[in-house]
Amino acid sequence: MKANKLLITTITVLLFSPFIYGQNQEQQPQKTPIEIASEQAEKLQKELNLKDYQLFLVDSVLQKNFTDLMKEIESMRVAGIQTRESYKSVQDKWTTKTDKAFEKIFDKEQFVKYLKMGGKYKAYMKNSEKEKEKKQ
């Protein structure tokens, strides 16, 4: 009987601990897309030695894309879309848009370093080779 009480207590604690943890997390104010964009732009400036005009462009791209991404995710949430694949697809779409914009902003060396930082360099090279083959 003591084993049953211990088991029930353990299960109860395990079930409710995520809710307790989640309440503690809510006390921290959530950052806006603009704040997140500024932080990311500053990080990229340090990592890639961006020039001032590049920082401005990167910050602008990130602000626009993060804001639009959040709007799209919110509309999906309101519509009741719950599949992980749907959200992943939207995130991938906005990541691709951001990468394409950065490719125009960064010089070749900066862009390669950016891709390597995100673990996307190999995939980029594969896609580049496929594009070259299509043109021939």
Residue 92 within a domain: yes
Residue 42 within a domain: yes
Spell out the SS3 assignment of 15-32.
HHHHHHHHHHHHCCCCCC
| Full residue range of the structural domain in which residue 109 is found | 34-135
Using the predicted structure, report yes or no on whether residue 107 has a pLDDT greater than 50. Answer: yes
Residue 14 within a domain: no
Residue 111 within a domain: yes
Using the predicted structure, report yes or no on whether residue 33 has a pLDDT greater than 90. Answer: no
Instruction: Band the pLDDT of 6: cuts 50, 70, 90.
Output: very low
Digit-coded pLDDT (tens) for 36-95: 999 999 999 999 999 999 999 999 999 999 999 999 989 988 999 888 898 899 899 999
Instruction: Band the pLDDT of 20: cuts 50, 70, 90.
Output: very low
Residue 18 within a domain: no
Using the predicted structure, report yes or no on whether residue 130 has a pLDDT greater than 90. Answer: no
DSSP of 32-101? PHHHHHHHHHHHHHHHHT--HHHHHHHHHHHHHHHHHHHHHHHHHHHTT---HHHHHHHHHHHHHHHHHH
Using the predicted structure, report yes or no on whether residue 102 has a pLDDT greater than 90. Answer: yes
**How high does pLDDT run on average in the chain?**
81
Q: Based on the structure, what is the number of domains in the chain?
A: 1
What's the confidence (pLDDT) of residue 1? 43
Residue 126 within a domain: yes
Residue 48 within a domain: yes
Q: 0.75 exceeded by the pTM? A: no
Using the predicted structure, report yes or no on whether residue 114 has a pLDDT greater than 80. Answer: yes
